[in-house]
Structure 1
Amino acid sequence: MFLIHGGAFTGGTGSDSTFDGSGLASRGDVVLVTINYRLTTLGFLALDDGVTNGNFGLADQITALDWVRENIRDFGGDPERITIFGQSAGAASVRALMGSPKAIGKFAAAIPQSNLAGSNYATTYSQYYNLSTEISVAAEPILNATGCLNATSTSQVDCLRQANAYALANLTTVARYLVVDGTYIVSDGLEVTGKGKGQGEGGGSVANVPVMMGFMRDDGAAFIGYPQANDTLGTFLPTQGFQLGNTTLDAFGVPSGPNSTLDVFNASALIATDSEFRCLDLATAYSAVNHGTIDTIYFYQFNRSYQTPGYDPNAPVCDAPVEPGYPRGNPEGEYFKCHSGDLYYTFGTIAYQGLAPRDGNDIPMAQMAVDRWAAFARNHDPNPEMAFLAARGFTNTTDEVARSGKWNKVGKSGAGDGDGDRDTGLQTLRVLQWPSFESSFEFHSSHEQCASLGFPLDYYETAL
């Protein structure tokens, strides 16, 4: 398992203790590799010089992948059974590698967790700038700030090399965008509508490997602020960058709870989640499976979270509510399941972080998540082998799998379920909580709501 850390392409590290691999490796019978790659301007700057074309951080990821393929046998790994995975910008990296001619053929499966796609801040993670746009948005402000825009005695890049690296990486404007450079990225997004399956370097547009993908129920709640007391949905959303018409606002509506400000945030968080995560991730799975560009996709929605103390936006909305008998919060209560709230579960690092379980299900939930992630890496199927679980005495997951049934992969629409509907039953996702269960793509929000935002289920049929 080859982890690419997140952090907006401006921060993060593979050595973050959240990603400690001891539990995942020992419990899951996998080899875990966490990597680092160049970030911010040092990793993603592109210039108009015909040489500095950006994507250096992505190139680092592929270099690390090449190293793993060459050396992982010495650590007990199999170079032909590499699963690349990552969350947030790590998920965007996984998505980019799935379409990169330099990476296709070098991994066997992929897990993008909470991939950003859609509007506002999320746009550039799945739809890539061309060089001229990146130069306008990032390079020129950086060159201006460093006095290198009109360098005469040296080239712009040599001028930048004379700047303090720390200062350069922390300017008000930094380069953090994947760009279409013609080498590492050759199209403005992942081509999921039948333009070709990837067959290796230079030989295809999409890596047709098994994929497990999904998002947090309220992923977008971390990417908006909190309303003021007198805000309405119509007044608050524009301050967060959402310019939506009445038709869209009506499609979502506002809850009618006792706290009107929380009601506005609740509706806004759903709109942000749909706009920046859910709608286009679902559309990716829908189009990729229907066109056969990716034959096997397992989809999930994470519905329990344990927010990392270092990233807790709009606190305490992303934290389980403190109630009598639950001094650390009651995970069965209602709260927002926010961005990054899955990481302690998928790595099994709640106790490693020195955090106490909040109820009797936090640890079983983490065991189940680790077992499913590891099963997908071992067999490209998140349904753990019952014999494996029994042999190791993993009774919590054994009971959960028996209780919740098989996690089915996304089916092709029109396969024929005989009822004349749109076959939403074939658009299946697993709701990961304790206990988990199978549902449809329309769990928690509808296709009509996505369409009202401009991101219908068939978005990729015509968009790219």
Structure 2
Amino acid sequence: MAALVGVVAIVLSLAQANGVAAVFNAQAFRSDVTLLTHNDLYGNTSTRQAATIVLSARQSQEKSQVGCEALQETLWTLANGTDLDFLRYLDYEKVTDDVGLYWIGNGGAPGCKAITTLGKVQTTACDTRLPALCSHSASLSSPASTDVGPRWQASVNTGKATVLGYRDKLSFRFLGLKYAPRPARFGYSKYQAPSDNISALAYGPGCVQSGCREPSCSEDCLFLNVWTPYLPTKVPSTTKKAVMLWIHGGGFTSGYGSDTTFDGGNMASRGDVVVVTINYRLSTLGHLALDNTTLRGNYWLSDQIAALDWVRAHIEDFGGDKQQVTIFGQSAGAASVRALLASPLAKGKFSRAILQSVPGGVGYAKTFSEYLSISEATALTKSILDETSCAQPDKSLQLACLRALDPVSLVGGRTVARYPVVDGTYLTSKELLLNGSGPTLDVAVMTGVMRDDGDPFSAFSKSSNASQALIEQGYNAAEIIGSNKFPVPNGLNTTLDIFNLTSRVATDAMFRCLTQSTAYSSVSNGVFPAVYSYEIDRGYQISEWSPNPPTCEAPITPGHPYGDPNAPYFHCHSGELYSVFGTIIRQGRQPRDQNDIPFSQYLLDSWTAFGRTKNPNPARDFLRARGFANTSAIVEGTTPWGTVDAGNPKLRALNVKPKDEGFRELEQCAVLGFPLDYYAD
């Protein structure tokens, strides 16, 4: 590794001559670099704080020290009582049984020291060629505190560009990377290769949405963010990580890839994956369609496909594997995943898909899964034309008027476009075809809901009559009440009893029924090679959105000042997001009981296991190697999560003690007109 020392020496001497610290460059460094820590998701309150930077290059102790100095670190010196179990992961998936040995600092003791992956320190001849463990001094970042100073910066060469990011304790972070140039308003985006020097130290602006304008939001908003625990020196690397690309929700009218709820650091670190989040155009700017013009909608979908093209072109330079891409999203993000599964232009760009709480069925939810025709979308566009004074007889004048408007007026009016449409190019059928008439897809799928997903889409009724409350919310009260499948709870609070009924109906009619039909129908007709189904029975509602308060919040009790998750409350839409991304602590929330963080560990471990292997059951040897005792205990205490069997469909009920159950509310779904075989025929 003489080349490594030569490059490092040149970089250091140039930096010293200019009086500044050198910026680490992955490709020039000539060694793969991994950030490794236990990461139990407890943040700074964790009792397991040890972290190290792993240099894969095998070289002498002296050269390893020079390599660490290039990262502005030193060879790792162990503190007394350091928990070293996480080092076992360095031997995971080795083809031989030998125990790894790595250079560390000698702590002032004579001789050169190395440590085994079992934590045994030994004196070793200094010219032995070994990989090395460097100190890792970067702190945890948070929404309120991020240090992007030169000491922590790292650059990656990709294509004709050099991208400057930084590291914190958990991952290398590259934020605000443009994946496509600003498209013309109501034009389709296309991936464009980056060039020159790019700063990726801060998020780019979000896409224009109601209440957000320049500079926080812009029409020039097609940015993505990358979190990776690993940077290779050469591409293709033999140690590529699975990629998980997140698509945010927000009803197709709001949301950001930079939302810190979805910070990818914990998922990348604990799950050993590369995480990507994206912006895409929203509301009328992302969806407007008008017949007999070039406005055919689905601009948002072209954005998402362009982001996938960027990932396929560049993610390997950031340690990812372009052949192992999972797309996952929640709510409108899950509807996006569904549309990408349906789109012929997205085929082959990903191999796994997770759909969390896809809206579909009745009312507000219908058009997320059943796509409008151009003529149907045009009927809605006419209202927008009227409201914006662009309703002129000549279509070309209408387009010119719409393109000249302040973008905020297009997304903040009484009527906005937010519908996927059958444009004949990006979407060619009115829904994802699961009845056997469409193509089979080599994509493993995981899909599910929150137990009370419909709570935010119901409302407290002023009526004490259940039928009247259902009618107010657009349901066929006679069929629902007359079926005797939806009894009204008989509690002490009539208003809450009726809300329980309408929330149950909303959950079934807008989320659960068609999610279960999606799983059943796709398996019945062999659309996907594997389908896993779940329902989450524990929620921690995000602080930014908690409708119908306090129904989605665990009730506060003297023994549980932050809420008692074991007491009755609604497990609502978006209630899984903190847990899936492992961001409860990072977002400034407190564990409500001793199970909140272990449950988050289990969900994150299951989601990333699916990303790595197409199977949500974390491998037991992986968990042992990582020292993930809590998830190990859960996995060992239950049967494996199986794929959906059309003959006996089951879901995994996800809670502190997961279990398998048959699909839920099947009789109720039939009453609502959404039987299990709804999509099958």
TM-score, with length taken from structure 1: 0.92
Residue 361 of structure 2 corresponds to which residue in structure 1?
A: 118
Residue 232 of structure 2 corresponds to which residue in structure 1?
A: none
Greater CA deviation, 354-363 or 44-53? 44-53
Residue 361 of structure 1 corresponds to which residue in structure 2?
A: 595
Aligned length: 437
Deviation for aligned residue 1:162: 1.1
Match for 1:118: what amino acid?
Answer: G
Match for 1:67: what amino acid?
Answer: W
Greater CA deviation, 320-329 or 235-244? 235-244
Residue 307 of structure 2 corresponds to which residue in structure 1?
A: 64
Secondary structure at the counterpart of residue 78 of structure 1? strand
User: Does 2:662 align with 1:456?
Assistant: no
Match for 2:653: what amino acid?
Answer: V
Residue 251 of structure 2 corresponds to which residue in structure 1?
A: 8
Match for 1:165: what amino acid?
Answer: P
Query: For 2:504 and 2:395, how far apart are their aligned partners in 1?
Result: 53
Q: Deviations over 1:377-420 (max 9, x none)?
A: 0000000011111011000000000112211110132xxxxxxx
User: Does 2:530 align with 1:288?
Assistant: no
Q: 1:379 aligns with which of 605, 610, 613?
A: 613
Residue 342 of structure 2 corresponds to which residue in structure 1?
A: 99
Residue 288 of structure 2 corresponds to which residue in structure 1?
A: 45
Residue 204 of structure 1 corresponds to which residue in structure 2?
A: none
Residue 137 of structure 2 corresponds to which residue in structure 1?
A: none
Q: Is the 8 A contact 2:360 2:367 kept in 1?
A: yes
User: Does 2:564 align with 1:330?
Assistant: yes
Residue 297 of structure 1 corresponds to which residue in structure 2?
A: 531
Deviation for aligned residue 1:257: 1.8
Q: Is the 8 A contact 1:329 1:358 kept in 2?
A: yes
Query: For 2:376 and 2:273, how far apart are their aligned partners in 1?
Result: 41
Query: For 1:371 and 1:318, how far apart are their aligned partners in 2?
Result: 25
Q: Is the 8 A contact 1:285 1:297 kept in 2?
A: yes
Query: For 2:285 and 2:607, how far apart are their aligned partners in 1?
Result: 32
User: Does 2:465 align with 1:232?
Assistant: yes
Query: For 1:409 and 1:152, how far apart are their aligned partners in 2?
Result: 55
Q: Is the 8 A contact 2:247 2:329 kept in 1?
A: yes
Q: Is the 8 A contact 1:120 1:242 kept in 2?
A: no
1:424-463 to 2 correspondence within 5 Å?
426-442=648-664, 445=665, 447-462=666-681
Q: Deviations over 1:249-297 (max 9, x none)?
A: 5221111122222111111111110000001110111111011012311
Structure 2: any 5+ residue segments left out of the alignment?
Answer: 1-243
1:199-348 to 2 correspondence within 5 Å?
207-228=441-462, 230-249=463-482, 250-348=484-582
Query: For 2:461 and 2:661, how far apart are their aligned partners in 1?
Result: 32
1:80-229 to 2 correspondence within 5 Å?
80-137=323-380, 139-150=381-392, 152=394, 154-198=396-440, 207-228=441-462
Deviation for aligned residue 1:49: 3.1
Match for 1:144: what amino acid?
Answer: D
Secondary structure at the counterpart of residue 251 of structure 1? coil
Query: For 1:295 and 1:388, how far apart are their aligned partners in 2?
Result: 24
TM-score, with length taken from structure 2: 0.63
Query: For 1:290 and 1:154, how far apart are their aligned partners in 2?
Result: 48
Deviation for aligned residue 1:179: 0.2
Cα 1:247–1:37, aligned 2, differ >3 Å: closer, same or farther?
closer
Match for 1:373: what amino acid?
Answer: W
Greater CA deviation, 146-155 or 382-391? 146-155
Q: Deviations over 1:295-354 (max 9, x none)?
A: 311100011000011110010000001112001110011100000000000000000001
Query: For 2:389 and 2:246, how far apart are their aligned partners in 1?
Result: 37
Deviation for aligned residue 1:232: 2.1
Match for 1:98: what amino acid?
Answer: L
Match for 2:249: what amino acid?
Answer: G
Deviation for aligned residue 1:154: 4.7
Q: Is the 8 A contact 2:293 2:395 kept in 1?
A: no
Match for 2:387: what amino acid?
Answer: A
Deviation for aligned residue 1:461: 3.1
Deviation for aligned residue 1:155: 2.9
Query: For 1:81 and 1:246, how far apart are their aligned partners in 2?
Result: 46
Residue 418 of structure 1 corresponds to which residue in structure 2?
A: none
Match for 1:231: what amino acid?
Answer: S
Q: Is the 8 A contact 1:248 1:453 kept in 2?
A: no
Match for 2:679: what amino acid?
Answer: Y
User: Does 2:673 align with 1:412?
Assistant: no
Greater CA deviation, 248-257 or 266-275? 248-257
Q: 1:351 aligns with which of 570, 585, 588?
A: 585
Query: For 1:364 and 1:380, how far apart are their aligned partners in 2?
Result: 22
Q: With CA pairs under 8 Å and 6+ residues apart, which has the higher RCO, 1 or 2?
A: 1
Q: Deviations over 1:438-458 (max 9, x none)?
A: 11103xx2x111100001111
Secondary structure at the counterpart of residue 519 of structure 2? helix
Q: 1:391 aligns with which of 617, 625, 636?
A: 625
Q: Is the 8 A contact 1:82 1:107 kept in 2?
A: yes
Percent of aligned positions that are identical: 50
Provide the aligned C-alpha RMSD in A: 1.2
Secondary structure at the counterpart of residue 125 of structure 1? helix
Larger Rg: 2
Secondary structure at the counterpart of residue 461 of structure 1? coil
Query: For 1:279 and 1:141, how far apart are their aligned partners in 2?
Result: 32
Cα 1:90–1:153, aligned 2, differ >3 Å: closer, same or farther?
closer
Residue 420 of structure 1 corresponds to which residue in structure 2?
A: none
Query: For 2:573 and 2:555, how far apart are their aligned partners in 1?
Result: 17
Q: Is the 8 A contact 1:197 1:208 kept in 2?
A: no
Q: Is the 8 A contact 2:480 2:672 kept in 1?
A: no
Query: For 2:674 and 2:358, how far apart are their aligned partners in 1?
Result: 15
Q: Is the 8 A contact 2:524 2:680 kept in 1?
A: no
Q: Is the 8 A contact 1:151 1:159 kept in 2?
A: no
Query: For 1:153 and 1:136, how far apart are their aligned partners in 2?
Result: 14
Q: Is the 8 A contact 1:275 1:453 kept in 2?
A: yes
Cα 1:82–1:153, aligned 2, differ >3 Å: closer, same or farther?
closer
Deviation for aligned residue 1:101: 0.2
Greater CA deviation, 52-61 or 239-248? 239-248
Query: For 1:60 and 1:378, how far apart are their aligned partners in 2?
Result: 25
Q: Is the 8 A contact 1:24 1:374 kept in 2?
A: yes
Match for 1:440: what amino acid?
Answer: G
Match for 2:447: what amino acid?
Answer: M
Secondary structure at the counterpart of residue 80 of structure 1? strand
Secondary structure at the counterpart of residue 344 of structure 2? coil
Query: For 1:218 and 1:170, how far apart are their aligned partners in 2?
Result: 29
